[in-house]
Chains A and B, each alone.
Chain A
């Protein structure tokens, strides 16, 4: 059976992290699973953790009162879910719902925030990695907005 340390070390997100930091992260990590249809977090809730998806699929959703929840993006195996834990006001901006049965590694964001405050080198490594994720998502979102397939009047 894989240890958490092993899972973390193998994951591309954590590649290049010193083993000392990986151990630190392991201390903040736990295996979790969500049945299909469960909400992992909801808009407005306090954001205190993030997830490394190991299997399954998660949808980022928002709801308007007159429609069923709108899926903004889907995340699958290997992807990182959640960065609102990193910056104030530490509040989820969207819902995250497991579309399929999903297994993930949950990392205690609150704990990690504190560790990053104490150890700025760790903080820099974490921020660098999250910046990359945010950049990818932003680029993708902008392209999505272009509605390249739709007709425009």
Chain B
């Protein structure tokens, strides 16, 4: 039992050693590297899918090692958890010791002052205690905490300042812990959902409505604020050279059932309500079509968002599905194609030359047949199911390049008209209860860091004794500084000041040099001060 305890203690010591922290820090940095070189699911599922297609043998192996989700992998978590346990293990004892240090007086002077990084000896004709008084005065002016003791080799003095350095150090390391807790809280209780909303449309905050969403393990549907958002208008503005200048979305928002309020959001300006934020993360066009069947039934201005494939020109691709052509119709209709806000025909190929809708055109294929929507397999709303086309369940019944207002007539007399376009915005609703904590922790981390790096902790020790030849006093001073490299000039300045003060005092007190100094009576008593 004791042996086990001893071994545990040794492990604990090792884990909380600075060297271990250093190695764990390196491991953390190295572990992050694959996360930036390989596609990550959290960033782009489609890049991961492409990687699987390009590297069919390698990808599954990498996947087993969690390399497509490095930052949520168990081994990444293991490293930072170990690091933070190590951090707790070293910070808490240090905090306790620092508290004790703040309450007690500076440590006793080391036996051999000459072994300190900076040290010197001065001679004075003052009596020993008076010489030490002079040193104390100089140090107090410099805001040192000073204590005097009666040492084995004579009266001595210890002085210290720069406690903020250690306070900053502790604040920094504790803030790292707080930061991790904030991050973890945000991951557990946070969620985000994305949805494409066409002008005139809207959504309410629920997982069923989002196109994609991700939520922490402790989030349940009932935790979602019942916020609803309607997109009334979307505008994209461009500079003359085609650089995107601004994207703005006019919204109405409010809690379900309550009054709606209007606001405008845009890039860098989300909507913030009570812990929920709504962002515009993208935009695009929804071309609309009017379909008139041979029997006169018509579907007016039906539209679907086409996803931009090229942000510079907003060339987009998408599909419009008409699964229900009305009572009695067995066939379904769909069109799939390419949208160009500013179209230009190069030969027979339509390309886009400008992101603004200056001359909107579409190039479409029209299909008739069975879309397979109720087959049970999920289908993208942005494209047709290629297997239905391959199986001849869907047959191409027309192709056309259309400008707004133009139409094409199918073999059976159905007329498809490109009737106009609307803009859509990609909206994202995010909820992260941890982020306020993380911000506070980051700020206190920075404050602690500044304290730790800018403040230097200085200790000065002095001891006096009679000169060997009997005439006067030998004053030894030494100092130990943590933090700054340039200790020599500071120490020289201090000793110069002491030397000058000793000389001054010598002159003014020369007549009664023999009289005992005020403090001389009780040198063994400690006189701590703040």
Pair from one complex: no
List chain B positions with a Cβ less than 8 A from chain A.
Answer: none
